Amino acid sequence: MAAVAQTLAPEHVTPHDLVTYSRCPYEMELIRTAHASIVSGQPVGARTPPGVVPMRHSPLFTPPNLGVIVNDGRLDVAPDDVLVYEDSGEDDLPILFPEHQVRLDERFRPPSSTLIDRGYRLSGRPDLIVERRGGELVPVEYKSTHLFVGYHESHGRMFDIIQAIAECRLVHAAFGRRPSHGIVLYGDVANDGEHEGWVQVAYGDAEEHWLRAAIDQVLRDDVRAPVPSERTCTSCGPNRDGVCRYAAVPPGDQHHTSRATYLPTVPWVRR
């Protein structure tokens, strides 16, 4: 899902913010200040205090994961499934639905395609929202990687759970119907779909309570400390641009390209 490049007052959190915060709060802060700098046209400084002591782990507690179901293979689209929302800012989404099963909700077409939950102070854009027979809504997050990348790493699948939970809440707020689950879909583009798959993430009271507390934690955190580790710093956008003095690996040692949601040219302000 594309990052939200608009300002909302008071501060809102996106699903991507929650994912980044779970890796490294300072990374989230640097990315957010970069966006704010672009929107305002002025360099915006990070709230992280100078001389902050790095942490060993992100302070975000893990989301409930007992309702996660991993499915190997293609996500089937039923004849009566309807695509009601698509993130117009994403140009690499798979075409899953024939034309006669696409009925995009006019309320969420650009420039109003960002879903906003003012009560939770959450905003963002799922990749897709599917309406199933009986009216159930399901947000779908698309990843071009294959199903088992990062599956056995300590944080690998947690990112997807966080994103799916946050997108379920956005759908609930925007459409007035609470999804029972969200889906993360893996296209495995690099391997011609050899390891396609999808993960179903339950969304109930426990997940909603976790989300509310997690957003509160992010918004209250005035430190947003760095959590240097080779694994996260290797794929960190601010590290790629050489703006983090706490990085566990130098920018030149980064093995992976940065995530697509990261802005390539930003007026960084160091603290």
Which chain residues interact with ligand SF4 by CB under 6 A? 24, 26-27, 30, 226-228, 232-233, 236, 238-239, 244, 246-248
Position of tokens 């779909």? 193
The helix/strand/coil state of 59 is coil
Distance CA 236, CA 230 (A): 10
The helix/strand/coil state of 149 is coil
Residue 222 CB, nearest approach to ligand SF4 (Å)? 17
Residue 250 CB, nearest approach to ligand SF4 (Å)? 10
Question: What is the crossing angle of helices 156-175 and 205-220, to 10°?
Answer: 100
Distance CA 140, CA 199 (A): 10
Position of tokens 């029972």? 180
β-pairing, 137-143 vs 181-186, is parallel
Please say which residue, 25 or 64, places its beta carbon nearer to ligand SF4.
25
Please say which residue, 30 or 199, places its beta carbon nearer to ligand SF4.
30
Please say which residue, 98 or 250, places its beta carbon nearer to ligand SF4.
250
Please give the radius of gyration of the chain, using alpha carbons only, rounded to the nearest integer. Answer: 18
Cβ neighbors of 232 (< 8 A, separation 6 or more) are 23, 24, 27, 248
Residue 64 CB, nearest approach to ligand SF4 (Å)? 25
Please say which residue, 209 or 270, places its beta carbon nearer to ligand SF4.
270
Distance CA 26, CA 124 (A): 20
Residue 235 CB, nearest approach to ligand SF4 (Å)? 8
Please say which residue, 20 or 163, places its beta carbon nearer to ligand SF4.
20
Residue 36 CB, nearest approach to ligand SF4 (Å)? 16
Residue 24 CB, nearest approach to ligand SF4 (Å)? 3
Please say which residue, 27 or 131, places its beta carbon nearer to ligand SF4.
27
